[in-house]
Structure 1
Amino acid sequence: MIKIILLAAFAVIGAVYMASELGALRQPKGADPARPRLAESDGAVTLQADADGHFRVDATIGGRRVPMLVDTGATVVALSFEQGEALGLVSGGDRFDARVTTANGGVRAKRVVLRDVRIGSVKVLDVPAVVLTRGAMNENLLGMSFLGRLRRVETARDRLTLER
């Protein structure tokens, strides 16, 4: 019985090791697996899905890096309160008089217009967005107020191509 348990333990350890090695093979040398991968060509940007199948990207808003989750189900770009505060879009005394519906239910938000949003070489000006109340959301969403202004948004397997 002990031999079977040891054999099973070695099999599990071997499987975990092989999975980590295969994952390392898919990442370019020196790449940070936590950072989204982005490739550019001919005025288009192609994003690689993360391990969960989501497309995450570091956008640039007003010259500042903002981590975002691409969400075609979001009507507008949606920012957390903390991100909106860091970008100078909101402060603690602002009125959050818009009502938006999220996957977690209805929340209050403040409407804003982002001067520019850039993903690599793809740039859109004057993007409508909302900043949600403190604690309403952890991730920033790259919604249709940005995506809908692109010439092409195309998904193929684990890749998403954005073209202006």
Structure 2
Amino acid sequence: MMIAAGGLACTTVWATSISVVGLFKDKAIVSIDGGKPRTLSAGQTIQGVKLVSADSDSASFDIEGKRRTLGMGQSFAGGTATDGRPSISLTADARGHFAAAGALNGYPMTFLVDTGATAIAISAAEAKRIGIDYRSGQPVGVGTAAGVVPAWRVKFNTVKVGGISVNQVDGMVVETGLNVPLLGMSFLNRMEMKRDGQTMTLTQRY
């Protein structure tokens, strides 16, 4: 299931991005477009980003006219590349991981970007929650920290991350040992990827 990632291609991208670096009651500390962290109070707007509400677990923002809810260390970015292709910029969390809010087959899901995974991977429990009949897929065994566990190859109808939408994506449903959905290379291979410090930008190729 695991392979090495390929090289990263560069592209010029415009995006409005927001990263949450601190959460309090009715306040959130955010970095906008990679800038210096700033404190937003509920009802306050900075650079087109309005904080609607916040507590110690998450914050709700009005961004580009749409409501977005982010937890600590999570990011959102919307925009397009200069040639009109959909694009999203992600900011690494304190552990250097990139989380991406999106949807799988229409169901909201937060993915962990994993260039070492050959395919998008979700747990069997997650598959059951969103109604995927994964046991009709091809059974395989995959290596995890807990050893080799049962898994099934499947095809996801749609995968969305930000404004990027991809259809008919190869996926894997893993019986046990997978705590977070992985955004693997079956999705990332369709992107141009640019890594700049703590920021990763994905731009749809096709």
Q: Please say whether Structure 1 and Structure 2 have the same fold, judged by a TM-score greater than 0.5.
A: yes
How far 1:72 moved relative to its partner? 0.2
Q: How many aligned residue pairs are there?
A: 142
Distance 2:115 2:145 in 1: 13
How far 1:136 moved relative to its partner? 2.1
Number of the residue aligned with 1:56: 99
In proportion to residue count, which structure has more strand?
2
Structure 1 pair 127–96 and aligned structure 2 pair: CA distance change class (3 A): closer
Distance 2:38 2:145 in 1: 32
Structure 2 counterpart of 1:101, from 143, 146, 152 = 143
Structure 1 pair 35–82 and aligned structure 2 pair: CA distance change class (3 A): farther
Deviates more, 1:109-118 or 1:28-37: 28-37
Deviates more, 1:70-79 or 1:43-52: 43-52
Distance 2:116 2:76 in 1: 22
In proportion to residue count, which structure has more helix?
1
Gaps of 5+ in 2: 1-21, 31-36, 41-50, 52-58, 60-69, 81-85
Structure 1 pair 160–95 and aligned structure 2 pair: CA distance change class (3 A): closer
How far 1:142 moved relative to its partner? 0.5
Number of the residue aligned with 2:126: 83
Number of the residue aligned with 1:72: 115
The amino acid across from 2:107 in the alignment is R
Q: What secondary structure sits across from 1:114 in the alignment?
A: strand
TM score, norm. by length of structure 2: 0.61
Gaps of 5+ in 1: 1-18
Contact 1:81/1:90 (8 A) holds in 2: no
Q: What secondary structure sits across from 2:29 in the alignment?
A: helix
The amino acid across from 1:149 in the alignment is R
How far 1:104 moved relative to its partner? 4.2
Contact 1:27/1:33 (8 A) holds in 2: no
The structure whose Rg is larger is 1
Distance 2:38 2:127 in 1: 32
Percent identity (aligned): 31
Point out which structure has higher relative CO (alpha carbons under 8 A, 6+ apart).
1
2:186 aligned with 1:137, yes or no? no
2:116 aligned with 1:111, yes or no? no
1:40-68 Cα distance to aligned partner (Å, 9 max, x none): 22221001111211001122111110121
How far 1:34 moved relative to its partner? 2.7
Deviates more, 1:31-40 or 1:60-69: 31-40
1:61-102 Cα distance to aligned partner (Å, 9 max, x none): 1111012100000011110111111121147x7687211223
Q: What secondary structure sits across from 2:125 in the alignment?
A: helix
1:127-146 Cα distance to aligned partner (Å, 9 max, x none): 0001111x321111000000
What is the alpha-carbon root mean square deviation over aligned residues? 2.6
Q: What secondary structure sits across from 1:97 in the alignment?
A: strand
